[in-house]
Amino acid sequence: MFFIGCGEEPSEPASVTPWLELGSGQSEFIDVEDGDELTLVYGIQGGWHVDGAAKFGGIDPEGASLTYLATDPDSGELLNYTYNAQLSENLLQEIEDGWLRLGDLVVFDVDSDSDVLGRTINIELTLTDADGNTMQDSRTVVVAAP
């Protein structure tokens, strides 16, 4: 708000270049680099997953979505059930320069844990805003035993 006699009207805030970072973690964000190991989790419903997390900024999270895909880096074979999380500010933690989402699951669509244990996979994270603009980040990781 601008009041007469208080100086110049402030300029519009500088726009921030949109950014996205794939990570891991249930209670805190864990950085993931290419070649890192992600621990296979044996889910309570009998499935297997690795934990996913996302940090992003420069976009309005209302109406945005996150999609995780796990694929074989050589063949492109899809290894997980598609996970598409609809976002809103009340489902995210605000951080200094953006937003944080923890606790996502990349659930494998496999017959046995041996289908992924020790396997190198590519995890791709796609963020789509309410206007349909997309950003992607991915890591090639190894699925490790707990």
> Does a structural domain hold residue 63?
yes
Q: What is the pLDDT of residue 124?
A: 98
| CATH number of domain containing 23 | 2.60.40.2550
| Burial 69-100, CB ≥16 within 10 A → b, else e | bbbeeeeeeebbeebebebeeeebeeeeebbb
Across 103-132, average pLDDT: 97
Q: Which domain holds residue 24?
A: 19-144
pTM: 0.87
Please, which pLDDT band fits residue 114 given cuts at 50, 70 and 90? very high
Q: Which two structure tokens, joined as six digits, stand for 133?
A: 């603009």
The encoded tokens of residue 47 equal 């499935």
* Domain membership flag for residue 100: yes
Q: 10 in a domain, yes or no?
A: no
Average pLDDT over residues 58-81: 97
